[in-house]
Chain A
Amino acid sequence: MDINNCPDQDILLHYMQKKLSRKQKKQVEKHLCQCDFCRKAYGISVNLLHDSSFSRWEPLPQKTISTVISHKLNEFTDKLVFFVNMLFKTPVLVPVVRNDDDIESKDNPITVQNAGLENGFTPFIKTINQLCFEMKMFNCDEKKADLSMVTRYQDHPMRDVNYFLTNAKGKSRAKCQEDEAVYFREIPFGLYELIISHQGNETIHIKFEINRTGIYENNDLS
């Protein structure tokens, strides 16, 4: 590989990912030492690959096998504790939504803007690593209510998101394919566990209670 015969970009790509044989690698390195143009071009392309300003076009970080296994174990123990608590303990609830405050400050334009306008419930919002999960409660009667859920990544609604809502009786599942919210109809009041997954990776895991006054996150078990 002479100075005039600069390597193809595919070879440099393989060199970057350390997929070349030892002989080829030496050849490429030798060429990079000799050719200023290729050295600079290679340096620029690698730096641009790691540039953080392109992160919004990159997919969400994938999990390794070890993290998946540890997460599954944690999930199992969490579920165990959750059901044991449901049977023997009264869970300690930390209120996230204060319905009374909301009703009091209904004239305030800022809170009204943030609130679920029709019912007087403020939406339940949770942000984890640039992911913003928003849950609203509406059509509430004495025993049940409807829920709507949206997940946004950097203010853009996410596609291909799976929502798994579980309570003691069983699991219900919904999938969001378009840029729309997902609705769970006639959910009876009680303790719930919600798992949101994107492209097979679990992204958000929340435990909460729904009752007549609103949605409450259960921090005791998380």
Chain B
Amino acid sequence: MKQIQNKISIFDDCGACQLPDANQCQKAKQIYKDFYAMILLTIRKTFLKWKVPFIDQDIEDIASKTLVTLFDKQCKVLKKYDFSLGLSPAGYLRMKAVNEVTLFIRSNDLFSIKKQKDLMSIDDIATLFVEFDGENAIDLKLKKQILSAAIEKLNSKYQLLIKYFYYDELTTNEICQIMKISVDSFHTRKHRALKKLENNIKKYLTRNNMNDLLKAYILFYLAPKKEEEQWT
């Protein structure tokens, strides 16, 4: 119990909130001294992970905004820290800093600009597939529609895995951290997800009486290994 008390001492009610001047608060000074560098680093790393444009002034602004939200309304946010959740104090502050960055990105609509760029590049890649088909060019929109419909029918845990892996292009280790699973179970889950996706697409095609060419094309697109074996 002593250990826990030591750990959360800076998050306890110090009684200084009633002081007229916030600069007199020793707790705020201590957090600023101990964790300000960490908050700056967190914000920079978050921007880099989002891959959105930013300047140094943004980092400083968000860092000061984070501290303000922590100490605002008599340290309301700071007092919300719950050690039973398994987060360290530094981890909690990091989460708050990440939250401020996401709010900043959302308010300035930086993500949608990035998303548009991503969509352009995916379209460029997709045109390569159209060229592969040659004479029978298939409507890209239709293909996307089929794929998204098939993905949406998956269980949420499979959907999340596929979206993290193929859409967000995260590494295996990162996904394992996010989903709290081992590497082995990640691979089995991914294998099952792809298998189910394939079945969903087959069902969709048979239900809508798609032509054979489209079937072959989409099966080739999803399971290249099997198709290669068949062709050879």
| Structural contact, B156 and A62, CB atoms closer than 8 A | no
Residues of A bordering B, CB below 8 Å: 9-10, 13-14, 17-19, 26, 29-30, 32-33, 36-37, 39-51, 53-54, 57-59, 62, 160, 199-201
**Cα–Cα, bound, A59→B159 (Å):** 36
Interface residues on B, range: 35 or more
Q: Which A residues are CB-close (under 8 A) to B178? A: 42-43, 46-47
Of chain A, the residue at the smallest CB distance from B156 is A29
CB within 8 Å for A33 and B99 given contacts A17-B85, A19-B85, A47-B177: no
Alpha-carbon separation in the docked complex, A30 to B157 (Å): 9
What is the bound-complex CA distance between A44 and B174, given in angstroms? 9
Nearest chain B CB to A146's CB is how many angstroms away? Answer: 30
Query: Across the interface, do A48 and B3 meet the contact criterion of CB distance under 8 Å?
Result: no
Q: Is the CB of B94 within 8 A of A49?
A: yes
Contacts of B152 in A (CB 8 A): 33
**Contact assessment for A48 and B98 in the assembled complex, using a CB-CB cutoff below 8 Å:** yes
Q: Please state if B90 and A9 are interface contacts (CB–CB under 8 Å).
A: no
Question: Inside 8 A of A59's CB, which chain B residues have their CB?
Answer: 7, 88, 90
Secondary structure at chain A's binding surface: helix, strand, loop or mixed? helix
- Cβ A43 vs Cβ B168 within 8 A: yes
Q: B3 and A201: CB pair below 8 A?
A: yes
Which of B21-29, B44-52, B122-130, B132-140 is near enough to bind chain A?
Answer: B44-52
Contact partners of B80 in chain A: CB under 8 A = 10
* CA distance in complex: A47, B35 (Å): 19
Q: Let me know if B71 is at the binding interface, CB within 8 A.
A: no
